[in-house]
Amino acid sequence: MSLELRVFRNHGHSRLAPGAAPFVLLTGPNGAGKTNVLEALSLLAVGRGLRGSPLSQMAANGGAQAGFTVLAELLPDPGLPAIAIATATRADAPERRLLKINGANAPLSALSDWSSQLWLTPAMDRLFADTASARRRFLDRLVLALSPGHAGHATRYEAAMRARTRLLTADTPADPAWLAALEAQMAEHGAALAEARATAVSALGEALAAQADGPFPRPSLALTDADQSALPDRLRHARAADKAAGRATQGPHRQDLAVTHADKAMPAALASTGEQKALLISILLAHAELVAARTGRLPLLLLDEAVAHLDPGRRAALFARLAALGGQAWLTGTDPLLFEGLEAARYTVSEGAIVTD
Ligand SMILES: Nc1ncnc2c1ncn2[C@@H]1O[C@H](COP(=O)(O)OP(=O)(O)OP(=O)(O)O)[C@@H](O)[C@H]1O
């Protein structure tokens, strides 16, 4: 794998070529541009990247002069040729992301054919106490690695939902046939969304339950409002309420991932900060192992400042589980000593530039 950033946040032009190294390590002081490298990498997956930022913020100094470009060569399977992926914005269309795969224009949804990623960032430390929508985004990323069609259903569900809300809240009375057609679309794609989420949560729950005791706590997972089969009726009955609320009050866009610290039989939100981080790492590792077993593909793992608060035993256990997976994990940290002995491609990041160790 190789990665090149041009005019991306504080990176003028940075290039890294770690090949198939099991670990890629980025160290450097605060504000050096380590997370920015992971964010650029996260644009090789479907979605808005690991910060969820507007694209115009990602071009250097807000893109006043130029759009950004992120280029990568991925090594899919041993023996197969590398895939060249380029994603970019232009100064005259700063919120539009363009994609080329092997030199040919491609829709952004094509990224799910090539790159499956999971990340852990400091912003996710409070995920269990955060909003349901933050947990749903996290869950959907887990689901996407197992069901690549998930993103398409989400896009079509949301488009139908927005159109229904517009129709309901317009000054003129809504055409019942048009409303019913939009609700049928919501029901079709909503059922697919809920089904894929339920399948992923149950497979992941089984994998977590089957794990031997180890240094990471065992979470148990549940999806709220899992049965969406009555959605057409629920939507029809909720029309007046939804008109008043100005949004759809029923449907899978309101589902939540409920996480419990199983060993303590306690909601994850009540666990300590370190415990919550360890629960998230448990989910991430079990998920990566599940994706590898089910799809034969190894997700790329981006772990931003993930080890600083782990004790040495848990740190070593994390590195061992990641190494056993056989994929590639990109790690950042301010302190290189925390990664001593790790077989890694090492880079020092300094003021938006890469220095190879
Ligand atoms: N669009 C942009 N143009 C130029 N610089 C930017 C842009 N967006 C962010 N930056 C700069 O990038 C730097 C932050 O980079 P990043 O978050 O990658 O740091 P980091 O090395 O991960 O730091 P930490 O260890 O504190 O997490 C900040 O100095 C910020 O001002």
Please report, for residues 75, 85, 107, 155, 261, the alpha-carbon distance to residue 69 in angstroms, rounded to integers and kept in the order given.
20, 10, 16, 25, 41
In-domain check, residue 49: no
In-domain check, residue 205: yes
Give long-range contacts, CB 8 A cutoff, 24+ apart: 96-99: 96/55, 97/43, 97/55
Q: How far is the CA of 71 from the centre of ligand 1 (A)?
A: 19
Q: Return the residue whose CA atom lies nearest to atom 27 of ligand 1.
A: 30
In-domain check, residue 193: yes
ipTM: 0.98
Q: Which of 6, 7, 9, 16 to mutate to test the pocket of ligand 1 (most atoms within 8 A of CB)?
A: 9
Domain count, the chain: 1
What is the CATH number for 210?
1.20.1050.90
In-domain check, residue 81: no
3-state secondary structure of 21: coil
In-domain check, residue 237: yes
At residue 298, the pLDDT reads: 85
**Pairing between strand 23-27 and 93-101?**
unpaired
Instruction: Please give the residue range of the domain that contains residue 168.
Output: 131-272
In-domain check, residue 73: no
In-domain check, residue 203: yes
**Whole-model pTM?**
0.91
At residue 235, the pLDDT reads: 97
With a 6 Å cutoff on the Cβ, whether 57 touches ligand 1 is yes
Tens digits of residue pLDDT in 160-215: 999 999 999 999 999 999 999 999 999 999 999 999 999 999 999 999 999 888 89
In-domain check, residue 157: yes
Query: Residue 349 CA: which ligand 1 atom is closest?
Result: 21
With a 6 Å cutoff on the Cβ, whether 67 touches ligand 1 is no
Which residue type, as a one-letter code, is found at position 112?
Answer: S
